[in-house]
Structures are given as structure tokens and as C-alpha cells.
Structure 1
Amino acid sequence: MTLILASRPNVYANSPLDRLAPRRDDPAWVAERLADPDSLFIPVWRSRNLVRGHGGEEPEAVYISGATAHTLRMAHGEDDAPWAFLGILETRAVFAIDISAAEDPVPLLPPELGTFVDLRAVGWGVPRPEASVLAHARGLMHWRQRHRFCGVCGNPCEIKSAGHMMQCTVCNAQHFPRTDPAVIMLVHRGDKALLGHSTRFPRATMYSTLAGFVEPGETLEEAVRREVLEESGIQCGAVHYHSSQPWPFPGNIMLGFYAEGLTEEITLQDDELKDARWFSRAEMRNHKALGFDLPRVDSIARRLIEDWLAHG
């Protein structure tokens, strides 16, 4: 089995931030950065990010000033809106701030700043460091919004560690941001690779790599083999790591692999896949003419396919 290396970083990877984790537990330092007029803020509104140039021009992440962030928070009486320190960009502190309580934040912003969009609709196409910062903000704010109460005793939690930990006000249990690991794999055998069509795909003609969550007590390689067998009935042998991609939709890390297919007969095992097929390299390169689509260009699934195509 030929080892295929990642040809370039994935979208939402390669963050330019120094997360500076030791400073999270320094309240005085954090307060100074919050009040610093040079600090940058990334607003998140109902899981959407502020992007300029979406829908035609080259997309660009938008950072706002502390004054603008304060205006957004106060406009709907939420000066205690969820926030978190993300890190340092060159010399400036960067914070995420959730303004989801606003019914419509657009009138509160200068029109040239951009619009709030779902990151998955942006279509970055190529790795952009700023895309990883937006993904970071989205994922962390999603966690903050959904962990306001203790999972142990049900009482309210309060923010700690500059937004990176929630502590119960009664039992003192500490809750940290969670990232759920998921394996995503291109199974190949000879000059063909296995792609499936899920009932969850937004396009009826799209075929993509198989994927699934890692279960407790399971290695990544075991998860790859189990998921492929469960979904397609194909048995896998050697499994090789390719790369990973943060996927904050809502809070996953996608761990990409290539897996050697040992069998060819496809047997759909559950309701996860509506269809699965072996595609040759020629068919994948000519997929539009043949009437099927490949995964979106900002996904690790597409990267696995493209790097495999480049090696044959």
C-alpha cells in the first residue's frame, strides 16, 4: 500500500494564532486585553460568522474593534454576552463574542463590514489562515452556548479560564470544550476507490468518502475498519493516516485516512448510506460529465480524493 502524504494544509487548519493558554487564567491580563482598543473581536451570530466578499469576490474574514463589539453587545442589553479569548495575532489579542441575542445584527454594523454567513457556504477553496480563526470562534461559541448548566447536577455554570472552562456554581464540577473525533477514509483497491451517497447529503448526486465517529475504547484504525464494514460490508486491511481537519459543525476533528480494501462486493448494512460504488480514477476525473459530484472543495474528503488521484 503506497503511503500518500498530504499535499497541503486543509481548510480550517494552520491557524495563525498563538493561543497563549497560560494567560487564560490571568484575569488582570485578560481584562487589559478586553479593554485594549487594539484588540480584535470575531462576532458569531447564531453559528454564523462575519465575512466580507461572500458570493462573488474572494471571501475575507472580518475582525471588529472593541468599540464595535461593545455596541453590538449593548444594543440588545447583553453586555455579558458569551465571549472567549482565542489567542494573539501578531501582537493583538483576538476574542470571540457571541451576539446571538440580537434579532438582526446587520443594521448595527457598517454595510462595508460584510454579512453573517454559515462558514460551509463560503467555499474557501484553498487554505486560508483566517478561515481557521473563524472556525475556532464558531466552535468555541457553540460549546459555550450549550454548556451553561452543569452536566453533573444541573445548576448554572460560570465562565472561567477566559471562556475555556465552565465551572458549576454549586458542585464545582469543571467542564471543558469538547471535540468529538471522527474518522474519514478513502477505501481503495487497485485503481478504484469506494465512495458513498448518504441520505444526509445536500446534493442528490454527491458521492463522498465514508466517515464515522470513534467509539469509546477504540483505536482510530479500528474505527476506520468498523465504520467501513458497517456501512458498506467491505473489509479493510492496512490503514494509513493522511491529515486532520477541524470541523466546527458543531465540534468535530476529522481524522483522515486511506484504507486498503480487501473485498469488493458492496453490501449496504444500515440506513447510513443510500448507495455506494467503486469509482475508477478516470471516472472521478470525469465526474461532471458522468453526472455525479465530488465533495465540497474545503472538505478533507475532497483532499483525500485529490491526493489519491494525484498518485495514479
Structure 2
Amino acid sequence: MPPRKHPAPNFYAGVPLDRADQRRADTDYIDRLVNDPACVIVPVWRTKHLITAEAEAVWLRRSEAGHLLETARVSLFLGLREETAYLAVDLSHLEEPEQDPVLGNRGSFQDLRAVGPIMDRRDSAILAYARGLAHWHARHGFCGVCGSATLSEKAGHQRRCSDPDCAAVHFPRTDPAVIMLVHDGGDRCVLGRQPIWPPGMHSTLAGFVEPGESLEEAVAREIQEEVGLKVAVEDVAYHSSQPWPFPSSIMLGFHARADFGALNTADDELESAAWFTRAALRASPENERFKLPRRDSIAWRLIEDWLAEG
């Protein structure tokens, strides 16, 4: 199965910032950027973002919202866009952030998954990046080695244990997960359904990569565990990847060929699974009886590209 070549970026990929990772430890440099009145502040509140009624991201300038830096739980340097710094600030400690005169007049805090599909994709990529980094900081305030408090370093891109006898360094975590469209090499593919999903939604199979496992092995294992089909690693082909900070995953997408046969659904994994033809998916009613996955997901992209091939 030949690999796909140069697929277009998925939603939430393609962050249009120079991350300037080589300058993060230069505190004087970062301070100059952050103190520039033109510095862009990206507010994050309990994993939500400030969005206008027109589904546009709200970018605040330091000149108008510098007071947010004084109260923020943590400030995170995201990178540069045309020499202007973007700084995420976590305001989750505020009970009603929209009462702030600057925040409340500009929009409301919304879940990115609710508006991401209709936003400018470069803007939604920045928000996803900010959300993922803020989420990691919120859950790593204490050292996993000794239990002492940790301190933010390198402009928010690492945390260090405050106990000098430990001083362990911790880096932002991203959990690798494989997601795959299983097909029979012809006109049929497998979709499953989890009971927690919206009514009617069916999607591709997926699962987390385990220690000591290659991505191809993870794909084959998850397929066998979830629907009982055997897949050879040489029949697994990489498609593309997608940052998915809901809360902290990188989705690694594949197409995988399996022989057509009966499915043995794992009750603890899926509510149901079945083979579907291209014709059936193209005629999807998109209602509470049957619908395809979210349009901003790599699952949709895997299905969409497979449909286009036949």
C-alpha cells in the first residue's frame, strides 16, 4: 500500500507563528517582547477562548489588556507573527471573566470545538496551541518525581521542580494516538460508534499508542481489539497527523487494509461497528440515525479522502 503524498494540513495544524524556541531561555529578550504595547494577548479561560459573535478569535493588545498579565495564573509565550509576540494568559482562576471591561465587551468564552470548523484555520490553530499548553501547565503544578511545586521556565515551555535536591525538569506532554480508516481494498470500510458520542455519529477506530510499540503495530492491535480484524503492519499506510488538544493528543492518521469479514465488537470499546460502502456514506442522512464525524476532525479527513479514491 503506497503512502499518501503531501496531504493538506488538518484543522488545528499549521500554527502561523515562529515559535522562536532558541530564544525562550533569554529572559531579557522575552521581557522586551512581552512589554511591547503591540504584544498580542490570547486569553484562555478553563480551556475556552474569547470568540466574537461572528466566530472570530479576539486578539488583545498589551496596550489595552496589560492588566491581565498581573492576574493571570500563568503567561505563555507562543511565538512571533511578523515580529509581534503572541502570549497566552490563563485566566481560569476568575469566576466571571466576562465582567472584565476589556473581555466582556469583545466576545464570550467558547469551546474551540464548537466554533473551530468555521473559524479562520490559522487563528484556530493558534487557539488550539494555547489551549494545549495552558492545559499542561494547569495539571503539572507539582513534580511527578518528588511532589514539590514546579515553576514555569523557558517562557512557559518547561517546568522545573522547586526543590533544589530534585530540580527535575518537565516538558509539555502530548499523548500519541493512532486513528485509522479500515477498508477492504475495495468499496467497503469499517466505522464504529461509542455510546458517549452524539446520537447517530459513527467514526473511524482509534486508540493510544502503548509503550514499546510502533505506530503500525498500534494500528493493527487497536483494530483487532476493537473489531476483531487482523491487519498486517505492511498493510498500514500513514495518511497525516493532527494536533488535538482536547485535552492533549496528537492524532496519527492511517489507512489500513483488512480482509472483509465479520466484526467482533469489543463491548468495552464500542457500542457497535459495521462495514459501510462508499455509496452508503455518500448518501449519509447526517441525522440522529446516522452521521459522519465532525468536519474539523482527522477522522472526517480519513473518510473524505478514501471516498475520493473510489
Range of TM-score over shorter length: over 0.9
The AA in structure 2 aligned to 1:65 is R
Q: How far is 1:283 from its partner?
A: 0.5
Structure 2 CA distance, aligned partners of 1:255 and 1:220? 8
Moved over 6 A (4+): none
| 1:254 alignment partner in structure 2 | 251
The AA in structure 1 aligned to 2:76 is A
Equivalent residue in structure 2 for 1:114, among 104, 107, 111: 107
2:262 pairs with 1:265: yes
2:147 pairs with 1:154: yes
Q: 1:17 to 1:269 in 2, by over 3 A?
A: same
Structure 2 CA distance, aligned partners of 1:110 and 1:289? 36
Q: How far is 1:270 from its partner?
A: 3.8
2:80 pairs with 1:88: yes
Which is worse superposed, 157-166 or 290-299?
290-299
2:223 pairs with 1:220: no
2:270 pairs with 1:310: no
Runs of 5+ unmatched residues, structure 1: none
2:136 pairs with 1:143: yes
SS in 2 for 1:138: helix
Q: How far is 1:130 from its partner?
A: 1.2
Runs of 5+ unmatched residues, structure 2: none
| 1:200 alignment partner in structure 2 | 196
Q: How far is 1:7 from its partner?
A: 4.6
Deviations 1:108-161 (A, max 9, x none): 135552211111111425871111100000000000111111100001111111
Equivalent residue in structure 1 for 2:182, among 180, 183, 187: 187
Is the 8 Å Cα contact of residues 241 and 258 (structure 1) preserved in structure 2?
yes
Q: How far is 1:30 from its partner?
A: 0.8
Is the 8 Å Cα contact of residues 247 and 254 (structure 1) preserved in structure 2?
yes
Which is worse superposed, 272-281 or 65-74?
65-74
Structure 2 CA distance, aligned partners of 1:113 and 1:289? 34
Structure 2 CA distance, aligned partners of 1:63 and 1:289? 35
Q: CA RMSD in A?
A: 1.7
TM-score (norm 2): 0.93
| 1:105 alignment partner in structure 2 | 97
Structure 2 CA distance, aligned partners of 1:289 and 1:154? 49
Structure 1 CA distance, aligned partners of 2:215 and 2:118? 28
Q: How far is 1:73 from its partner?
A: 4.9
Structure 2 CA distance, aligned partners of 1:126 and 1:52? 11
Is the 8 Å Cα contact of residues 199 and 272 (structure 1) preserved in structure 2?
no
Identity over aligned residues, as a percent?
50
SS in 2 for 1:61: coil
Structure 1 CA distance, aligned partners of 2:148 and 2:266? 42
